[in-house]
Structure 1
Amino acid sequence: MAEYRSLLEELAQNITAEDLEQLKSACREDIPSGEGDAIATGHHWFAFLERHSKLDRDNLSYIEHIFEISRRPDLLTKVVQYRTQVLKISEEDEVDTKLTRIPSAKKYKDIIRQPSEEEIIKLAPPPKKA
């Protein structure tokens, strides 16, 4: 449970006020009218989602979807890493059980990861002047 709380804390710290408005807009049909104003921080947003059974330590697919449509691949990647490293659910298991939108998560993971030594293009040194 500590890893889950740590994940939410890290995600909340990376959500600005502008991001929060975009996230709330992305899930507006799940926020009853009048309750949206009470969600003033990332922490409030996650608490709201937990209260309404949209989020718990074993069910992260809702926020994965919201991060994807809100164009936050950095946050989506953190959630996918939690799922594969902490919950020990491999990408193949995720596809098989349909717990996540893994095709898009794979796409974002490839964008963010650092290239290996073999993938780095080596340039030849410039020619020497005669």
Structure 2
Amino acid sequence: MTTKAKLYYLFVGTLFSFGVWLSILLYTNPTYADILTWLAFLASFFLWNVGFWGFVIFYLKVSLSNHEVIYSLLSSSLRQSAELSIIATTLLGLSALQVLGWWEAGLVILVVILTETFFQTKNSQPNIQLTKRNNE
């Protein structure tokens, strides 16, 4: 599948998720909503944010790389947008449960930053092969 096709499907999925999120937001009373409605709201919010921030980050990276559309930029952009969306959705869910404080928010952000740091440094470490010594 080409990058253009992936961007098209991402755009369609983002629009659909935004429509579901907007319809739940406008036509549902949150005080009487059941758990399934809350889960649908948070899932559509997450998917909409992944798509939106994925496009923003991807086109930012493309513009910074001399307008070359590189295949590897899309996967890293989607990973980073998913991390931003995890932060936003988790904080929104904790706020809805009324258990969000600065300490919890800081821990969520720290975990996501450490996860991104892991992905950034995973490929930059040298390949060290350990050899077993034969003691005769």
- For normalisation by structure 1, the TM-score amounts to 0.31
Which has more radius of gyration?
2
More helix by share: 2
